[in-house]
Amino acid sequence: MEIVGIIVLSLSALLLIFIGISRLSNPVNTYLKNSGIQLENDASLLNEMRGVSSVMLFAGIIIALGIFIAKLTLTSHIIAILIFIGFVIGRIISLKADGKPSKQITQGIIFELVLGLANVFCLINIWS
């Protein structure tokens, strides 16, 4: 696998694994620190937050495996595209429906878009 693909998958995996673990282990503090969002100590809300965090963590693990297992490289890029571009699309819909989010979330949208497009670029190179 070319070096650009390894870097893109590594960055994608590290971000998802780090955020997944952080939000899974302590969603109240992590959301407040990283997004400026004050979560209530509501069991249902925290359950939803941890559920999404677990998906992010496991997606990061699968993406990381694509670095070391050649047969998973294609799948890893596709999963990364689905996660990152999926977040971007959802956030754009929210931007239109709900208004402008905080600065931290806006920065997150940019990172998600960049990583999503970088994975698209790598996927196109794999198919070429």
What's the whole-model pTM score?
0.91
* pLDDT per residue as tens digits for the range 53-96: 999 999 999 999 999 999 999 999 999 999 999 999 999 999 99
In this prediction, residue 39 carries a pLDDT of 80
How big is the chain by its Cα radius of gyration, in Å? 15
Give the model's confidence band at 1: pLDDT under 50 very low, under 70 low, under 90 confident, else very high. Answer: low
Tell me how many domains the chain contains.
1
Give residue 113's domain range. 3-127
First to last CA, the chain: 13
Asked if residues 13 and 67 have their Cβ atoms less than 8 Å apart, the reply is yes
* pLDDT per residue as tens digits for the range 19-61: 999 989 998 888 878 777 888 888 998 999 999 999 999 999 9
